[in-house]
Amino acid sequence: MDVIPAVDIRGGRCVRLFQGDYARETVFDDDPVEVAVRWAQLGASRIHVVDLDGARDGRQANAEAVHAIARTVDCPVQTGGGIRDLATLSATLEAGLDRVVLGTAAVKDPAFLREAVAAAADRLIVSVDARDGRVATEGWTESTDLEATAWVAQLAAMGVQRIVYTDIARDGALEGPNVAMYEQLVAETDVAIIAAGGVTSLDDVHRLAATGIEGAIIGRALYTGDVDLAEALVVAREASKGEAR
């Protein structure tokens, strides 16, 4: 299992939100590029970068910083937030990003989603952000009636190969991930699953790796020091070996 540090950017700074609430922001660093470099130097095999302004407002606002991260670090970078049309998706990939993440646009614009699947193939990730089992959009500020697991099934049928599943209630709360949901997703779909939200300890990392998911995005716990990245990488590697056996 990949352990993937999160770099969330708002107003050009590296921040974390509590459960997606833009009014409950903690600033961890003024330079997101330096933060990404630190995670890469500590051994991260991939970094997850989110343009929070773009996710909420529907257009990329921190593209310069995102592109700078991709140019600077020596590991692949995936990014989402504000990618709402094919031109932006293509430009993002051409700028050196390894994968692009669609959230709101995947839900609200089926035609664009089909174009994105055709254009990006396995470089496309769809972010399934769930609050109480229902999909949320617009940077988690809008709720829908779309049932999250049903949406995952629809995505698989459309040819989406990889998703990030976030339990919003767990995000930033340091209360542990929704392991049961990840076990269910792995059992019910062939789509590669990346977990996000709630990792607070090395034990959480071990439990997630044992579910058979592809990766786990970790944010606040890395910034607060509750989880040491180097140790998490070792735990994930060993747990994944055990699962393979």
Instruction: Just list the catalytic residues.
Output: 8, 129
In angstroms, rounded to a whole number, what is the distance separating the alpha carbons of residues 156 and 149? 11
State the sign of the Cα–Cα–Cα–Cα dihedral 71, 73, 75, 81: negative
| Residue of 71, 72, 68, 52 lying closest to 60 (CA atoms) | 52
In angstroms, rounded to a whole number, what is the distance separating the alpha carbons of residues 237 and 232? 8
Element spanning 114, H or E? helix 110-120
Q: Cβ neighbours of residue 201 under 8 Å, at least 6 residues apart?
A: 176, 221, 226, 227
Would you call 144 exposed, middle or buried from its count of C-beta atoms within 10 A (0-12, 13-18, 19+)?
A: middle
Strands (E), 150-191: 162-167
78 bridge partner residues: 48, 99
Would you call 154 exposed, middle or buried from its count of C-beta atoms within 10 A (0-12, 13-18, 19+)?
A: middle
